[in-house]
Every structure is written in C-alpha cells, then in structure tokens.
Amino acid sequence: MTFEQTKHLHYQLLALTGEVDLHNSPQVRKQLLGIVESGNSVIVDFSALSYIDSSGIATLVETYNIAKNKQLSLTIVGATGAPLQVMELTHLNKVFSMIDSLDEIKG
C-alpha cells in the first residue's frame, strides 16, 4: 500500500493505492487523523485502492467522527470493486459522503 497526500484550497486529498489491511492501516490512520486534527476536511481517493478490510474501515469511521465534531467533512471518491462492496456490506456508503469523481467537488 502506498499513499499520496496533496493540499487543495478547501480540503486535503489522500490517495490510497493497493491494499489496506491490519498490517498497514495504522499508517493510513496516522495520515487521516493528522489531516482532521489540523483542521482540514479530507477526501480519500479510492480510485487505485483494490482492497480494504475492517481495520481500514474503522480508521475511516474514527476520522469521520472526529471530522464531524470539528464541523469538517470526510468524503470518499472513486470507490469501485472490493472496496465499494465493503462499504455497501457495512452500509457505510449511506453514512459517508461518496462521490464518483473529484469533478463533483467545488473549489
């Protein structure tokens, strides 16, 4: 798993590539919590993500809860295949803001 973090005007984008599991989800957690703790909304790009387990999902849930308390947002973009199936299975696709493309983001 690799990730790339880029700053935008109204949010920070974290693009994940490969597979997120218990082995590497602590790295993802550190990045995500760092973004929201510093007062930024976050968009997590799933376009190149091929797998995510419940430890990765739990990290997203934790980030979502912190972001919400700080009146920030967490959005997931480009989820397909296995990661989208996990989101649907856990019904978190109805909790998180999920979009198909970054074109849907204003600013």
Partner 1 sequence: MKRILYVEHSACTSQLCQIRDKVRETCHFLGYSETDINLITLVIDEACTNIIRYAYSGEPGRIVLEIYRHENEAIFHLQDFAKCIDKSCLELRKTNLLEPGGLGLQIIYQVMDFVQLLPPEGEVGNILELKKHLPKGSQK
Q: Which residues bind partner 1 (CB under 8 A)?
A: 19, 21-23, 51, 53-55, 57-58, 61-62, 64-65, 81-82, 85-86, 89-92, 95
Q: Taking the complex as a whole, how short is the minimal distance between the CB of residue 101 and partner 1, in angstroms?
A: 23
Alpha helices in the chain (DSSP H): 25-37, 54-69, 81-89
Q: Taking the complex as a whole, how short is the minimal distance between the CB of residue 62 and partner 1, in angstroms?
A: 7
Which is closer to partner 1, CB of 32 or CB of 57? 57
Which is closer to partner 1, CB of 39 or CB of 81? 81
Report whether 35 contacts 14 (CB < 8 A): yes
Task: Supply the DSSP symbol for 91.
Answer: T
Report whether 36 contacts 63 (CB < 8 A): yes
Report whether 74 contacts 63 (CB < 8 A): yes
Which is closer to partner 1, CB of 7 or CB of 91? 91
Which is closer to partner 1, CB of 22 or CB of 48? 22
Q: Taking the complex as a whole, how short is the minimal distance between the CB of residue 106 and partner 1, in angstroms?
A: 27
Query: Residue 24, Cα to own-chain centre: how many angstroms?
Result: 14
Q: Taking the complex as a whole, how short is the minimal distance between the CB of residue 91 and partner 1, in angstroms?
A: 6
- Distance (Å, whole) CA 97 – CA 10: 16
